[in-house]
Amino acid sequence: MKQLELFPATTADTDRLRAEIQALNEMTERERAAALRRHRYVRAVEDLPPGRRGDRHLRVAIRAVCELSDDVDPPTPRQVRAWEARLREADGNPAGLAHRRMARSPRQQTHWAPWIGELVDQVVAEADPRRGVTLTAMARLAQARCLEASHARGGAAADVPAFRTLVRMVGDRLRPLQQAYRFRHLSCGRPLAEVVVAREALRVAVPELGADRVHLVTARDSYSGVIVAAALGTAPPDGEDLLGLFGAQTATAAPEPLGAARLCMGLPEVIVLDRDPAFLGATFRHSAAALGIRLHFAAVDDPGAPCRVAGLQRWLTARGEVVEDAGGLMAAAHAWLADLDVRRSGPDRSTPLDRWQEGVARYPIRLSPGATPAIPTGEESGGADAAEGPDGPDARRRS
């Protein structure tokens, strides 16, 4: 007996589905996850009626997808509209939503010669992580050795992977060893040595949260000035919230309706913070010690002391931004962080993002949390000055 199909698929639909599956299978796991994540947001927006496709309605749909998928980095309505246009250009194929920087031509997807992988393995094995060798420097060394080996074999420069490809190859080999620190928007082989904590109470009324104030806590890399982690919440942050910025979520941490605006995937060696009673608890100190993090409590007038005001409120006021809901507040926080990343300062007019991507080999790479000495009684917990870098005890402070 022939089996009947209630909705028989046409040949065109079958071919299209087969092409979509084949395109997704040819992508890497990272590319496939990014494409499917964007496809979820586009599908949610496509279901909206024609008269309800404004920014406010898109933010509601985006927030619903975030809650279902536990996405800590929701896109903006403008990004979702751009993804929707790209999906139409790709005839509905989700593979067309892969990041264009991730997309590689068929020639780049081919396997390189075995001797290239052996040279990259050799460079990674010879690098001494305690000397603070950066990801960029290792990729350049691998490129030089590959060009030299290709010339000796009678090959051409085209037989050697491009520099970005070598950066990815070196990074893939470093990641299992936990020698590369990566977080949202930024990627660098230089570890986090010292971060400075800043807090701010935003005078923003969010009716859906039932709060007239929102608390912001940030962690800024003391060398580059990049805010590596930031979170918004309806309650004043405490030590557990601070550790949660770096992915160290404790069992007693309360769920937060807003959450992280930027999450750091690497643990710092030193956290500089003020003497707020919320940060003086024994539980926070012992949790930080278990993670191998030193706590340095500094007064407001001390050199390198934490800043009490992060600056988001001033940024909103200067631009006349009006926050209507939680999604708009999170989008404003993302825009503020992106603005700080490219703000030029100093005699060389460099940006914090430039200084971060330089990957200056100034601090020793931290391989694992490891065991740390017991926290002494008093206000100091190791301290930033007690941890010496390769250039001496003052190497951890900016000149």
Q: Name the phi and psi angles at 213, rounded to 5.
A: -140, 145
Give pLDDT < 50 ranges for the chain.
1-10, 101-109, 129-132, 177-190, 251, 360-399
Calculated CA dihedral for residues 366, 371, 377, 381, nearest 10 degrees: 0
Residues in CB range of 308: below 8 A, 6 or more apart: 198, 199, 200, 274, 300
| Res 190: pLDDT | 44
* Predicted local distance difference test score (pLDDT) of residue 285: 86
Residue 61, exposed/middle/buried by CB under 10 A (0-12, 13-18, 19+)? Answer: buried
CA gap 130, 370 in Å, rounded? 15
**Residue 177: its pLDDT value, please?**
46
Token pair in block for residue 342: 């490219």
Dihedral pair phi/psi, residue 398, rounded to 5°:
-75, 140
Q: Are strands 294-297 and 270-273 parallel, antiparallel or unpaired?
A: parallel
CB 256 within 8 A of CB 245: no
The helix (run of H) or strand (run of E) holding residue 330 is: helix 326-341
**How large is the greatest C-alpha to C-alpha distance in the chain, in angstroms?**
86
Q: Which of 169, 31, 167 is nearest to 113 (CA)?
A: 169
- Encoding tokens for residue 37? 């994540």
Nearest-angstrom CA–CA distance, 68 and 205: 25
Please say whether the beta carbons of 45 and 61 come within 8 A.
yes
Q: How remote is the C-alpha of 235 from its chain's centroid? A: 24
What tokens does 202 get?
A: 């935003």
Q: Tell me if 381 sits within 8 A of 296, measured CB to CB.
A: yes
Query: Among residues 249, 293, 253, 292, which one has the least CA distance to residue 273?
Result: 293
